[in-house]
Amino acid sequence: MAQIIIKDVTKRYANGFEALKGVSAEIVAGSFTVILGPSGAGKSTLLRTINGLETPTAGTIQVSEQIVSKATLQQVRSHVAMVFQHFNLVDRLSVMTNVLTGRLSHRSWLGSLLYLFQRCDLDIAHNALVRVGLTEKAWSRADRLSGGQQQRVGIARALAQQPRVILADEPVASLDPVTSEEIMGLLREICTRDGITIVVNLHQVELAKRFADRVIGLNEGLVVYDGPATGLDRATLSRIYRRNGDQVDEQLETMLAYA
């Protein structure tokens, strides 16, 4: 059964730029999907439409049998967590408090405003930190952590939300190759062990090949590939990363040499 159904989604901005052009896809519950494509292909826009940060100009997004709309936004976001490229932590707060913000959707408006958490919230946050290997940093300020550790806090915050879906927008773009492998491995383990549906935007083809069940390739707002990671051969990568019609840039040629 599909966890996420994207049907004929178009996103056109006020300046006339069309970021998505009739995108359709179905993402199975418990799967690990990577969205690949060059900068400006529409990857982030697509991810943001899934949790309602962007509203499609046309088409629909359905998450766990709910159409994403203004009326359902709070319910959808309660079980769809985000992991961001630049971590989106509150630097001056402790690691534990940052993770606890993942519980805010489960608290009342007043409780959220005053950061009032229950004992069960602390237990959930602690368990999330155990999962990402950061219990010893629980009461450290977030800005004293390395980039890889900060991204682990971001993942722990997502886990604390107890989501059905985790959306990760370029989660390893600012990390070194070794740390990137670790973060992707952690997301893969969460998908496998918890059955949480994971959707990740990436630039790194080699990581998509290693960790994804399925790859959706976007180019200029269109789906140009939708299939297994094993299908990322030279011809497919050329379709995904080709710019300006038939132009192949130097970066693509280097990438294709290793396909």
Please report, in tens digits, the pLDDT of each residue of the chain (259 residues total).
Answer: 568 999 999 999 999 999 999 999 999 999 999 999 998 899 999 999 999 999 999 999 999 889 999 999 888 888 999 999 888 899 999 999 999 988 877 654 444 444 567 788 889 999 999 999 999 999 999 999 999 999 999 999 999 999 999 999 999 998 999 999 999 999 999 999 999 999 999 988 999 999 999 999 999 999 999 999 999 999 999 999 887 655 555 556 655 555 5
pTM: 0.90
pLDDT at residue 115, as a whole number = 53
Burial 10-46 (b: 16+ CB within 10 A, else e): ebeeeeeeebbbebebebeebbbbbbbbbeebbbbbb
Q: Which two tokens stand for residue 130?
A: 């155990």
d(CA 27, CA 33): 8
Residue 112 has a pLDDT of 42
Q: Which fold has domain 1-78+195-259?
A: Rossmann fold (3.40.50)
Using DSSP, state whether 205 is helix, strand or coil.
Answer: helix
Q: What is the model's pLDDT at position 103?
A: 86
> Residue 210 in contact with residue 236, Cβ under 8 Å?
no
pLDDT number for residue 171: 95
Q: In this predicted structure, what is the pLDDT of residue 104?
A: 79
Where are the extended beta strands (E) located within 13-107? 18-28, 32-36, 58-63, 66-67, 80-83
> Looking at the chain, which residues constitute the CATH 3.40.50.300 domain(s)?
1-78+195-259, 80-162
In CATH terms, the fold of domain 80-162 is Rossmann fold (3.40.50)
CA distance linking residue 166 with residue 193, whole number of Å: 14
d(CA 58, CA 53): 15
